[in-house]
């Protein structure tokens, strides 16, 4: 598998994880660990998108 294919595969996994994490966010009183998970996932996604460009 090429690097680009691996990056795209990981991006798809990250999108699923981000969606699942967002579902865990309550409407009020967001828990810091959940928010930190979400931010870490989004940061990794952004880094991979930058590599694809």
The total of structural domains in the chain comes to 1
Tens-of-pLDDT digits for all 53 residues of the chain? Answer: 689 999 999 999 999 999 999 998 888 888 899 899 999 999 999 999 999 88
45, 15 in Cβ contact below 8 A? yes
pLDDT of 50 reads 95
Which structure tokens are listed for 31? 């828990």
∠ CA 12-14-15, nearest 5°, is: 65
């Amino acid at each position: 598998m090429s690097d680009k294919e691996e990056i795209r595969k990981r991006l798809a996994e990250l999108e699923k994880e981000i969606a699942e994490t967002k579902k865990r966010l309550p409407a009020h009183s967001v828990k810091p660990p959940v928010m930190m998970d979400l931010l870490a996932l989004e940061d990794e996604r952004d880094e991979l998108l930058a590599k694809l460009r």
